[in-house]
Chains A and B, each alone.
Chain A
């Protein structure tokens, strides 16, 4: 299958005011392969793909793009799509209120006598859905299917445009294990049909599994291209290329000092916010000791976030029953302010829509959960605000020119550091970190792990919720597993491995 070169990008350079995003990047993709592009966040992967898809039109960058042997100059997405290049963005571009078929044909509707030919639309959609292995009625609204299936609809949409080169930007970022696997299988299937794929991903295990070649980009430069079969590539090899050094360990050395139990949740039961009969947490009990990092493992939708948020001032769902006991005394945390006052902190999995006000700058964000502490009389003390933010910037090593910078401009890792600073400033006893390293590159992950461990060493309890089992195994002292809203197991770090966790995460508790 793999033979000639289908795409070549030569010496691509793209500048933004004040930043050189891409400097002399070259990449060569062979027809019929899956070509992965790896690099830390901010390395320039997405920019390169935006250049390729015409989002940054010809003229805004320098360098040549040669597609199917001919130099091309795309003015916009339409012109790149006309050539057979389709990009599927990380944030899906589907319209939730429209049906699957309508979405597939959006902007491309077949008409008969000026009216949309719905028969043809739905019939073709059904064929396309079969090709991507999705058994859904084409008239189902997109909002009614899960993210994994939406991803497949996007691919069906691309197939409808008779795609030759499919670009997938972080296709599995929002998918659970089984959906991810299905998508990867589908990509392999497309490959066998001769469709070339470029895939951007942070999930190195997936890249190792599926990619034929890998181009590594670092700081806006193409570093190297690896051929998976010939070069004997493994995850460590990729990481070495991405960070420019080898990471001996992906987790900092840490010896926990674990104290007594100070936080306990007993028989916690919570109803779904809009479907009262459905329980999102079922009779869950867990505890956290001082200085301990407790992991929560579960598939997406298992109820991990729901459990965390309902404990954090009942900010999710409707409370049914259960107690929270802190330092031996039962406490009632009805609202988020009460939870914060009691010493709880919750770092959300969805940084952009639940964690940050993207209009704010670093310093206002840092103090936003504890304004009282820097308020004298009626006045918020801006000098104090600046000093606090500056202290955290230094101690967490946030990369930014100044704390006056807007949080929207920071990379994921640095945004997460600002969010951590915000919660550290509330001086919590228990930190609940929901997917603390989602969308964060390898180097920054290491630093975040270090911060988490330091917090535990200060005698705080830390709960880490994560979809990445290696992360939980590397970080936690103890791990709970959740399945369908119920806690199905509790494993000590020593007894836990990916298999034992996965078993508990997917099977219901025997007694339940």
Chain B
């Protein structure tokens, strides 16, 4: 089958250039390719186009570093056409096919898990609501169900967890999401205000504001095809790696808290404060909101700020390394973290896990390595940290080592800045909210945020306006990994399994 082959550093694709094939051919080809671990689907979605529904697929080839684009179409009211579900062969596709079915009423034949995904406001079947989510049930005198949520005990986002337990042991966990659905994707198409769209991308998931804003800016810049200053790319990468450090440190602290290890908890709380205060001293916002904008920045580095960030990051890395060594040498912590919540490699591959959770299960998926963009394609050499055990400890270890690795990247990028612009401010231009977008095109931003691969797809209409945005947070894949991780574990281990993933509710619900 013919795919349009492009790269993460390439430009946008005209909608007419994206091959359109019959579903049978698409199904056979994709099913065959996905049997090889070098391929995985970055995004697969449907869009109404006239009286048809056109399905676009972004397939990533990790070995060659390519992005493959293809599409198929369906007459909108063609009720008789039942498409065989790819999920039946490759469970990794379940969130995409469920989303398409939920929004547009497309029926996939032989779908093994035909469940609602997020109850969007524009869903096809209005009879389905949050209250009647069809939870999986099991019968048996020795079984009981535990429901948690949507409001959780802590100060976090809502989502409903339904456990089926045999005594203390979890047999099955089902996670019902959608409480956070705000209709973000839809809002991108309702405005021409590019600043508003950039701000919307930051609010897709507030703890990944830099990651989503970078993915959005990447997608926009592919559509305007303007040259981008290398220093701008380096500054965005510094911001992204600062965000990664802050969140991996926060989760280290959260894991310590959940096993009652107060020293690790408070030390990490203080270090996270220091990290996000560094971001705040740079751009005025602790989460980096406002830092990443299309074509430029409002907060170019100055020699003083670069020095401040470098000094702080070094100190954070030094102190965090002490915490890391302490955790590793505490048997009572290891007893809780090791051999708990295991997701084996083959399972992680089948469900299409991404990001640091996948890397902890031996699946070396990392956009920074496989599809490098901006600085990762130029001045930075990144090597993924991969562990094979797939347990809570492995996920924690990946986090720990990524903090130190990110600190190294930041130091290198700021060293480059100091070498080039030691005497003056950074040459980054101000943002541009008016640059014209290529009409009738598809563009994507694909980056590795702290949770994993983050993908923004933007489709423009004939006038060059944003007609639709399709956003994928890595949580979309990884929620299922959490459900599998707790199988067979005691229910009291759920909190540490949950924290070891720390997935986004709003990033999933959009």
Pair from one complex: no
